[in-house]
Structure 1
Amino acid sequence: MDKKEIKMAKATNVEAVIKTAKPIKSEQEKVVRKFEPEDLVLVRSITQGTLLLPGSKSQILYTWESYGDIVQVEYRDLYTLKASRSGYLYKPYFIIEDEELLENPHWSDLKKLYDSLITTSDINTIINLPVADFEETLKSLPEGFKDAIKMEVSTRLDAGTFDSISKVKIVDKICGTDLFNLL
């Protein structure tokens, strides 16, 4: 064999080895955790006031006293809510705080929803929008955040710190409330 034939044979052998080689798994690949039914998951309320959730599988009554409270909820109860596309998860009334759970492809729709949600500071920003923008924004919000806005407006009306009659009428129209009578 001459040098050219040897090079071709080596190249062919290398190609054959590459084709049959199994890919090496990177240490950085994420391992998806399998949650057990009784595993506890942190869940934060984004609902003004008290929020109650009866656990359909565990028979536990989960209670959040106010906006921002965090309670541990059994995975099986969250899974049941997801399977039934419950408003607790999809309006939403609370947010799952466990990033490991949300990284699971089965929960990717909720992660996408959460990424699009507003924060508490955004509630103040929305309330301070010009009237036309306030109305359009309020129409586009998920139900859970509409509830948060109407509760904040109601709280400010009670405290005497909200003075926009136009925005009160918009909240009444979109959220089905009667806050105007509080004025």
Structure 2
Amino acid sequence: MTFQQPVPPSGHGTQGPFGPDAPAGPGQPARDRRRWLKYGVVALVSLFVGVGIGSSSGSADTGKETTGIKTAPRPTVTVTEKAETAAPEPAPTVTETETVTAKPKKTDKPGPATSFSGEGEYLVGEDIEAGTYKTAGPEDEWGCYWERAKDASGEFGSIIANNNLDGPGRVTLNSGEYFKTNRCQEWKRAG
């Protein structure tokens, strides 16, 4: 089998379109390789030129002017994620209920007392009501002592009035005073 070499198209001469070394005819792999090599080199050079241009424009971002053109600062982009709110948990279901009636505690009369023991110290207006009180007298032969004072210090200077009773007696107490009683029978409000 013999091969004939094709005739080159007009205008290219006898060298062919890719130079004198390019084979013509069915065995063209050398020409394809050269074409890819040429395009590869052009692409590689273009890549380097693009990187060079990109890196020189990057120096303008750092504040160095390379072309004399001032560039505005780039805007900052902030990405915010919205958190999903959890749905409230459903309330527990009550299947059985029991009704309980609360009973109030029994208390003495509200407020300060209107009668009190003949032994102790009381704040008038808080422990006992202000007013006039009477007693039947001493509990024993030693007598009954009472004292009105402006404070609970026990000092002699804090005494407003005092008395020793051998029989029944009365005393008027004002709010804010302290009343001290020893060895007396129960005091009751007289008015």
Structure with greater strand share of residues: 2
Structure showing greater Rg = 2
Structure 2 length-normalised TM: 0.17
Structure 1 length-normalised TM: 0.18
